[in-house]
Amino acid sequence: MIPLKSEKDLEMMRAAGQKLAKVIRTLRGYIEPGITTIEIDRIADSLIRQENAESAFLGYKGFPAHICTSVNEEVVHGIPSERRLGDSDIVSVDVGIKYQGYFSDAAITVGIGKVSPRAKKLIEVTKEALMAGIKQARANNRLSDISHAIQEYVEKNGFSVVREFVGHGIGRSLHEEPEIPNFGRPRTGLTLIQGMVLAIEPMVNTGSWECQILDNGWTAVTKDRLFSAHFEHTVAIGESGPEILTNYN
Ligand code: MG
């Protein structure tokens, strides 16, 4: 069952999305050479509190931090640590919040100082792939139209999409149906209808799409240890097309 949102639900999810967007916008300003990922986590914690919201990730299946910070070859679910970021690193920051019973989820990847042209392109392509997927998030399209648009854009640009992790429905739970793969054939799967809210989140690898999980049981890394990037928005299927609820631009 895919929970459809009422207009009242959507109002709450817009509020949650705007709060999350503000957190990410502010947080982004702190991410520069010399910062550690645990410092980013602490700042995020404080910004989330200022919005009268709470972290959706802290304690989720035992996750030990407020946000995920995935550096370089880390794909998703990186655990904030004393690791200090410097020139040529990239970091994916995934933030989920709960506000008055409603969840919102978004992610960005940021280059630190001077990054390689390849890493810069990876970040750009991942961001654009998310936008290509969002464009397809409209009533009467099929779910896989989103998946296909993302995969096509990524592969056209010489990168690969992660298979092991997918986007998801979101609302009163962080993860609701449906699962949204970032790959697939167009015009298959369920038909999208107004009132669905989806967290669309391409994870894009420089090399092979294959991943491994580190011994901490959480952090996914690329098998070939090449860089990976991640962008995510919470998006409502509106009457006249997609509505990005977490617009942090
Ligand atoms: Mg998500």
Q: Would you call 2 exposed, middle or buried from its count of C-beta atoms within 10 A (0-12, 13-18, 19+)? A: middle
Residues 72-89 have a mean pLDDT of 98
Residue 91 has pLDDT above 90, yes or no: yes
The one-character DSSP state at 36 is B
Phi, psi values for residue 115, rounded to 5°: -110, 160
233 within domain boundaries? yes
Task: Please tell me whether residue 227 adopts helix, strand or coil conformation.
Answer: coil
Distance 236 CA to ligand 1 centre (A): 14
Could you tell me if residue 56 is inside a domain? yes
Mean pLDDT of 161-180: 97
Q: How many domains does the chain have?
A: 1
Q: What is the mean pLDDT of the chain?
A: 98
User: Which pLDDT does position 1 carry in this prediction?
Assistant: 81
- Cα 233 to ligand 1 centre (Å): 8
**CATH number (domain holding residue 160):** 3.90.230.10
Is position 249 within any domain? no
Centre of ligand 1 to C-alpha 77, Å, is 10
Residue 118 has pLDDT above 90, yes or no: yes
Residue 75 falls inside a structural domain: yes
Ligand 1 geometric centre to CA of 34 (Å)? 27
pLDDT tens across 93-106, in order? Answer: 999 999 999 999 99
As a whole-number percent, the residues of the chain with pLDDT over 90 amount to 98
The whole-number average pLDDT for the span 99-119 is: 98
pLDDT in tens, 1-43: 898 999 999 999 999 999 999 999 999 999 999 999 999 999 9
Report the C-alpha gap between 211 and 164 in whole angstroms: 7
What's the domain range around 137?
7-244
| Cα-Cα end-to-end distance for the chain | 32
In a domain, 126, yes or no: yes
165 domain-assigned = yes
In-domain check, residue 2: no
Q: Determine, yes or no, domain membership for 1.
A: no
Is 135 in contact with 153 (CB distance < 8 Å)?
Answer: no
Ligand 1 centre distance from Cα of residue 47 (Å): 19
Reported as a pLDDT band with limits 50, 70 and 90, residue 58 is: very high
Q: How many CB atoms are located within 10 Å of the residue 128 CB?
A: 16
> Is the model's pLDDT at 192 over the cut of 90?
yes
Mean pLDDT confidence for 46-67:
98
How does pLDDT run across 216-225, given as a tens digit for each residue? 999 999 999 9
The alpha carbon of 102 and the centre of ligand 1 are apart by a number of angstroms equal to 14
Expressed in angstroms and rounded, the spacing between residue 76 Cα and the centre of ligand 1 is 10
